[in-house]
Amino acid sequence: MNPFNYISIAQGDNFFDRVEETKRIVETLQGGNNLVLLAPRRYGKTSLVFRAIEQLEQIGISCVYFDLMPVYSLESFAELYLQALYTKLSSKERLIQLIAALKSIRPKMTFDAFGKPEFGIEFVEPKVSIATIAQLLELPEKIAQDGKRLVVVMDEFQEIRKLHKFGLEALLRSKIQLQHHANYLFLGSKTHIMQDMFMDKNKPFYNSAMTLQISTLPERETIDFITSRFAASSIQISEQQCRYILSRVENIPYYIQLLCAEIWQYMMPDLHEVTNEIIDTCFTRVVELKSDYYFERTDRLSALQKRLLVALTKSGQNIYSADYILRNQLVGASSLQKAVAVLLDEGVIDKSGNTYSFCNPFYKQYIINYAS
């Protein structure tokens, strides 16, 4: 089996380092504060949070993990939120009691093909109202008041903005503010939106949580991890080559594992020593394997968005300067702003300070090839 994993979150032996960060998360939540975890895409936020959840549960704090990615309506919000609560709570009867007390929602148990009971809900009202959602948002505090502290983790939290027109962001903020037994941990993969939500003083979540910014994994530990994983398959890799891998994928944890997985696959079972040429070959193979997808993704872009991406392969600084615009034929600043916004929203690029960069080093290479 390939010893490198990028398909699912890193858990157990596949997870390394992040000791300080885990401790900080556990202590902050244990201390009764809310926390927002900020980092660019694919840095290992969800994996880190799962590690912290394990430790919180060991000290008797229940953690509810709610992934907002599939949320697209108030109904789906209600359903998925309640499911997340139900899955994690030990006192399921208590939750069912609390739901039964709400006028507009009824708990409903069904049975799957194997006869296993499944939790669901039924709406009494034709459309879930914001008043019902407000009641749901009070549940964590009610459950926690029974004596057991509760942490609610909201992953892909930026997706709450899909329900912007209902004022859900402000509603949630007003509810959690009043809760003293339940705490919240927020994280999300669209960094620029998360930053906007928590750092802009005109937004409801401003100042609502402590902030933890995580960076890439430390080089030393990453090199040790890569070396030992290859060694277990009798493949040697030098420190210099490990560094070369890190530089090719800009140190991003997910892409490190993706490239290593490809290298491992390429070398098994006959090759035993990683070289820079092998690293380059495998890097190119990943770009080629994904090229259909990259082609479609690029094809959908406007001419200006494409020119912007090509420009970003060279530099992501001062992109609104007259010189940058002229040099890269990016015409009017307002259309450029729109192009930037679309690429940020689609998760193609990320913004840190005033610098823009590709989220995916393989796609960046695709664009370099495309431009030449």
Binding-site ranges for Mg ion (CB under 5 A): 45-46
- Answer with the entry of ligand ATP, Mg ion, none that 28 interacts with (C-beta below 5 to 8 A by kind): none
DSSP structure string for 139-161? HHHHHHHTT--EEEEEETGGGGG
| Interaction of residue 18 with ligand ATP, rule CB under 6 A | yes
Question: How many Cβ atoms sit within 10 Å of the Cβ of residue 222?
Answer: 22
| Interaction of residue 16 with ligand ATP, rule CB under 6 A | yes
| Interaction of residue 257 with ligand ATP, rule CB under 6 A | yes
User: Residue 27: helix, strand or coil by DSSP?
Assistant: helix
| Interaction of residue 38 with ligand ATP, rule CB under 6 A | no
Binder of ligand ATP out of 3, 44, 107, 140 (CB under 6 A): 44
Q: How far is the CB of 315 from Mg ion (least distance, A)?
A: 28
Cβ-based nearer residue to ligand ATP, 41 or 181: 41
Binder of ligand ATP out of 2, 5, 91, 104 (CB under 6 A): 5
> Binding marks (x or -) toward ligand ATP, 237..256, rule CB under 6 A?
----------------xx--
CB 179, CB 141: distance < 8 Å = yes
User: In terms of Cα–Cα distance, which of 35, 55, 53, 37 is closest to 45?
Assistant: 37
**CA pair distance 362, 4, nearest whole angstrom:** 18
Residues 185-204 that bind ligand ATP (CB under 6 A): 189
Q: How far is the CB of 44 from Mg ion (least distance, A)?
A: 8
Q: In what order do the strands lie in the sheet with 35-38?
A: 62-67, 150-155, 182-187, 35-38, 210-213
**CA distances (Å), origin 189, targets 52, 67, 139, 198:** 18, 11, 26, 14
CB 42, CB 36: distance < 8 Å = no
Q: Which residue is nearest to ligand ATP (CB)?
A: 44
User: Residue 117: helix, strand or coil by DSSP?
Assistant: strand
| Segment interacting with ligand ATP, rule: CB under 6 A, options 14-22, 119-127, 228-236, 332-340 | 14-22
Q: Given the rule CB under 6 A, which residues bind ligand ATP? A: 5-6, 9-10, 14-18, 41-47, 189, 217, 253-254, 257
